[in-house]
Amino acid sequence: MQNIVILTGAGLSAESGLGTFRDKDGLWTKYDLNDVATPEGFARNPALVHEFYNARRANCLSASPNAAHDALARLQRAAPDRICLVTQNVDDLLERAGARDVVHMHGQLTRALCAGCGHGWDAPQVMAPTDPCPACARPATRPDVVWFGEYPYHMDRIDRTLMRADLFVAIGTSGNVYPAAGFVQQAAAAGAATLELNLDPSTTAGLFEGTRLGPASRIVPAWVDEVLAGNDGCQDR
Ligand code: APR
């Protein structure tokens, strides 16, 4: 089995009922990201930010993994030391589908962080600005989610896996946000084949060798079956 790095975005969880950001009716058509997904927005109105993430946490809790999450977990189980699942998503649907060691570069809804001392812990379902940090007791708690203007998590590990990749696959992401949108070029420069699985062509579609269009719940299981059958899995379909 090849070394495969798989980057997922909101499109992976769209069919589980979790919103994407930039599609029609996407989250950024309903909220101003400057208010709910930046450190400045949090400083201005922490209650609004907690309300936004409390609602997303509740949606996530009532959602279920779809066939695409299940297929990626199945692929990882078949070759855990060959498959690296990197996600921009903050939901835990890959974990609930049985995936392990998912690299959440934008953080996780299930985690909380103290803006005062940096302590992290499992987030309660509902958070409020007055919640005291379990470590330092300061009322400075925030969702452990990476906001615009902040540095994503696990970048060293992601860089290392891209250098070793034989195949880089992007699933359900529009290619609008860096550094994730640049991974395809990083992987190709290191000699990897590249494939995009998406509902519509992303803004970086032209950088991929292979493209398959369709809903993730259909095209991801089909692709995983091909790879598990021993095909290199990087042709167009
Ligand atoms: N199957 C496959 N792809 C889908 C589906 C589906 N059912 N539904 C939507 N998509 C695709 C869309 O075509 C689009 O290309 O998913 C992508 C969603 O794009 P965005 O809404 O921009 O989400 P994403 O790329 O994950 O955003 C990246 O931006 O706002 C920040 O931190 C946030 O992690 C997020 C980052």
Query: Right CATH number for 19-62+107-145 from 3.10.450.50, 3.30.360.10, 3.90.550.10, 3.30.1600.10?
Result: 3.30.1600.10
Which residue's CA is the nearest one to ligand 1's atom 29? Answer: 177
CA of 80 to the centre of ligand 1 (A): 25
Q: Quick one: which H or E segment has residue 195?
A: strand 193-198
Active site residues: 106
For the chain, the structural domain boundaries read 1-17+65-106+152-237, 19-62+107-145
Could you say which architecture CATH assigns to the domain 1-17+65-106+152-237? 3-Layer(aba) Sandwich (3.40)
Q: How many CB atoms lie within 10 A of CB 133?
A: 21
Tokens of 179: 């550094």
CA of 131 to the centre of ligand 1 (A): 31
Ligand 1 atom having least distance to the Cα of 200: 13
Return per-residue pLDDT of the chain as tens, 237 residues. 899 999 999 999 999 999 899 998 899 999 999 999 999 999 999 999 999 999 999 999 999 999 999 999 999 999 999 999 999 999 999 999 999 999 999 999 999 999 999 999 999 999 999 999 999 999 999 999 999 999 999 999 999 999 999 999 999 999 999 999 999 999 999 999 999 999 999 999 999 999 999 999 999 999 999 999 988 777 776
Note the pLDDT of residue 107: 98
Note the pLDDT of residue 123: 97
235 Cβ contact list (under 8 Å, min separation 6): 210
